[in-house]
Amino acid sequence: MSAVPGQTVGPFFHLGLEFPQMNELVPPASPRAVRLHGRVTDGGGNPVPDAVLEIWQADPQGHVLRTPGSLRRDGWTFTGWGRAATDPDGHYQFFTLEPGATEQGRAPFFAVTVFARGLLDRLFTRAYLPDDPDLLATDTLLESVAPDRRATLIARREPHGLVFDVSLQGPAETVFVTYPRLRDAWA
């Protein structure tokens, strides 16, 4: 069966995709909250003010959650999924918990989806936690990426959270990923 092609989210996606607390996987004031944030830039280094990112992650214990409630947050339940639009400066932010490893010995990461006006199809990438160099050194994806591009997949730690910038094009272009059944669908 032929898969439906994607199309851009366009300039008016806020209308359909925004909802209250969409970027608050945990309340920002929660003592456990970390801020995952960054800027989305284009090939000219300009901010992309009309992008929208989604993250999907395990909980700190490494459990993949099957819990509804992402669209109507109750301030307590952690669902592992959130969405954030960029501001006029191309900046986005999430308040969340740090994902744990879903398997012993694997590097924990946020799965990230990127949409934007001007982007005709969505992009997938990963934002790894930066803390364990041994795990990162043996990660299948990171190992297979040219060394000078690996850093684009690893969030940077700062005092109150994590920074993950997304460069859609250019010298620091983020590594975007695809998966076997996507590639086959388009073969």
Residues 95-114 that bind other proteins (CB under 8 A): 99, 102-103, 106, 109, 111, 113
What character string, x for contact with other proteins (CB under 8 A) and - otherwise, covers 31-70?
-----------xxx-x-x-----x-xxx-----xxxxxxx
Nearest distance, CB of residue 70 and other proteins, angstroms: 6
In this complex, which beta carbon is closest to other proteins, that of residue 19 or of residue 158?
A: 19
Rounded Cα distance, 54 and 85, in Å: 9
In this complex, which beta carbon is closest to other proteins, that of residue 140 or of residue 160?
A: 140
The helix/strand/coil state of 56 is: strand
Pairing outcome for strands 161-163 and 81-85: unpaired
Q: Which of 22, 33, 97, 116 binds other proteins (CB under 8 A)?
A: 116
Of the candidate spans 89-97, 115-123, 130-138, 157-165, the one that interacts with other proteins by CB under 8 A turns out to be 115-123
In this complex, which beta carbon is closest to other proteins, that of residue 29 or of residue 140?
A: 140
Nearest distance, CB of residue 159 and other proteins, angstroms: 27
Site for other proteins in 146-185 (CB under 8 A): 149, 168-169, 173-185
Task: Give CA separation, 111 vs 28, 47, 83, 145, 171, in Å.
Answer: 21, 22, 12, 17, 23
Site for other proteins in 120-149 (CB under 8 A): 120-124, 140-141, 144-145, 149
Chain centroid offset of residue 111 CA = 5
Decide if 92 contacts 40 (C-beta within 8 A): yes
As to burial, measured by CB atoms within 10 angstroms (0-12 exposed, 13-18 middle, 19+ buried), residue 108 is buried
Rounded Cα distance, 71 and 96, in Å: 15
Nearest distance, CB of residue 157 and other proteins, angstroms: 21
